[in-house]
A and B are shown apart, each in its own frame.
Chain A
Amino acid sequence: MSAPVRMRGVHPGPGPVARWVIVGVIGLLFLVPIAAMVEFTLRRGLDGGYDLSRWAAVFGGGLTGDYKPILTGLTNSLVLAVVTVIVMLVLLVPTMVLVRIRFPSLQRALEFVCLLPITIPAIVLVVGLAPVYSVVARIFGSGVWPLAFAYGVIVLPYAYRAIQANLQAVDVVTLSEAARSLGAGWLTILLRVVVPNIRRGLLAAAFISVAVVLGEYTIAALLNRVNLQTALVVVSKADPFVSIIFALLALAFAFVLLLVIGVVGGRRPAQKASS
């Protein structure tokens, strides 16, 4: 067989100029609101001009006084992020592994359930969650962390996809059979054989869950719980500047999280080749 012939004009994509014009124009337009947020936080007040005083006030003075709701919201959101990831890891992961190994016939059903929250808007879910949470509050108290059960549901499609992509790339069935023939129990198989093999998927699922939880507003707002987003809305009524500073930071944080997922996920075949 001859080597593939290189033909000019075969590639249906745009030329370099067209590409950079499209990417540049759309990219710049999408940067305008972000730039506007930055510009907004640098304004010095009614007399015009720019300085860093608002950023200095947030970081220098600490989050006390008027900004205290944001600190509370941030703390709550971080707690929720941690508990949501735990709920996801403890409930979803063993089930996915079990279905893959023992109940392949349930795969479709599991997939359907996990992707269902895409079809059910959070605002609809919250109508039914209100009565559920009045019971939950009686059992677990009215603290913020039980909200993580609801968040576990809304991160389900994201977490499922991240883990499933990884799980299907690994021959879990053979691995688990090998482990079992060596006398390993179910828990050993899960924790010492399967989990190390899908740690990339688990990491991606955890990061995406964290990002979703940090950005969540609907459920917290309508169940009257305080999280980062509801706090930002409350504070924005009195001091829009500090809200925008935190919005910028949160967006930047989510961006870095997703960038890490992309880089970690993209760099994979090397690992496989060496094993």
Chain B
Amino acid sequence: MSDEALLSPAANTSLRGSGAPRAADRPRSPRPVRRSRTLLSGSVLGLVPFTAYIILFLALPTVIALVTGFLDGDGAFTLDNLVALGDPVVLSTFGNSLWLSALTAAVGAVVGALFCYALIGTKPTGVLRSVVDAASGVLAQFGGVMLAFAFVATIGIQGMVTVFLRDSLGYDIFANGVWLYDTPGLILPYIYFQVPLMIITFLPALEGLKPQWAEANAMLGGSGLGYWRHVGVPVLLPSFVGCLLLLFANAFSSFATAAALTSQGSQIVPLQIRGALTSETVLGRENLAGSLALGMIVVMVIVMAIYSVLMRRAARWQR
């Protein structure tokens, strides 16, 4: 099952500080408990509120989002909107989203992994780690709109770095036009939340490297480089690629930063969904939001499925 892997330590986004030791995440051996049937059927009722809630606010909206893609303005079944996914405008938007997500995921993964490497050997409860954990959590998950502001203040037309480069070094970063409010402008803000997400998700995997392996390597006369080549990298590779995919999914589904930064245009898919939702018709079609949502879900499901397979592989070494 793919769900198991989502809970693997390396996927433990933002909750690293929440307490229990990693060993506790592992399933315990089942404990046989005898109880009467009537009690059991009574406690089934206890599952009703949560189930109803999930159906109403998670399952139903998801199904509606996907189904409206197959309906025309009058509610009749049509494949028309699906055909619209092949429209050059939509395709180029998906293209933008895909390369933006891939690029920022790659940069974020490499820089984040480097930062994690630098943290090897620091005390998990020390000041440095506490600050890094909290700061990463904030930037990776709660920034959104605020990161857009941060980059307007940094590399906006009157931003601190823009002004510094222009006045002190005579270099105008916007010499070829202002790119901050277009797709290229999203690259830096996205990297700014991708690196912290990589730190949150990859650090547990790096900590899973057992000191005994390094000792065994040294004992057998291996060098530091040899350790990484023959032990570290092979063990960490599934985690690394998994985290890379998670970063990709994160950028692909991100909306707030782009929405706050680009007030017009629909350069990436989430913005196009906004356009379709607010103006009713994009490309002269109704319900395009539904088929765009379907397209996004297809990409997300593929990415997350590969992710969970990789995480299951990675979990082998973390027992």
Q: Which A residues are within 8 Å of any B CB, using their own CB?
A: 7, 9-14, 18-19, 22-23, 26, 30, 32-37, 39-40, 87, 90-92, 94-95, 98-99, 102-104, 106-108, 111-113, 115-132, 149-150, 152-153, 156-158, 161-162, 164-166, 168-169, 173, 177, 186, 200-201, 204-205, 208, 211-212, 214-218, 221-222, 229, 232-233, 236, 240, 243-244, 247, 250-251, 254-256, 258-259, 261-268
Contact A132 B56, beta carbon cutoff 8 Å: yes
- Does the CB pair A23–B28 fall under 8 Å? no
6 smallest CB-CB distances across A and B, nearest first, come from: A128-B61, A121-B253, A13-B120, A262-B17, A215-B142, A112-B3
Shortest beta-carbon distance from A273 to chain B in Å: 14
Bound state CA distance, A164 and B9, in angstroms? 13
A94–B48 Cα distance when bound, in Å, is 11
Collect the chain B residues with CB atoms within 8 Å of residue A94's CB. 46, 49-50
The residues of A that contact B15 with a CB separation of less than 8 Å are 158, 161-162, 165, 204, 208
Tell me if B57 and A91 are in contact (CB < 8 A): no
A266 touches B6 (CB 8 A): no
- Which residues 188-243 of B sit at the A interface, judged by CB distance below 8 A? 192, 195-196, 209, 211, 214-215, 218-219, 224, 227-228, 232
B141 touches A128 (CB 8 A): no
Asked whether any CB of chain A lies closer than 8 Å to the CB of B183, the reply is no
Residues of B1-59 contacting chain A, CB below 8 A: 1, 3-4, 6-7, 12-21, 24-28, 30-31, 33, 35, 40, 43, 46-47, 49-50, 53-54, 56-58
Q: Which of A102, A153, A261 contacts B17 (CB 8 A)?
A: A261
Contact between chains at A91 and B53 (CB < 8 Å) = yes
Contacts of B150 in A (CB 8 A): 33-34, 36-37, 247
A262 to chain B, nearest CB (A): 3
26 A-B pairs, CB-CB below 8 angstroms?
A22-B118, A26-B114, A34-B150, A36-B153, A36-B160, A36-B161, A37-B154, A91-B50, A106-B47, A107-B27, A115-B6, A116-B58, A122-B253, A123-B253, A131-B64, A169-B19, A186-B43, A208-B14, A208-B15, A211-B137, A217-B144, A218-B270, A233-B259, A250-B146, A262-B133, A263-B17
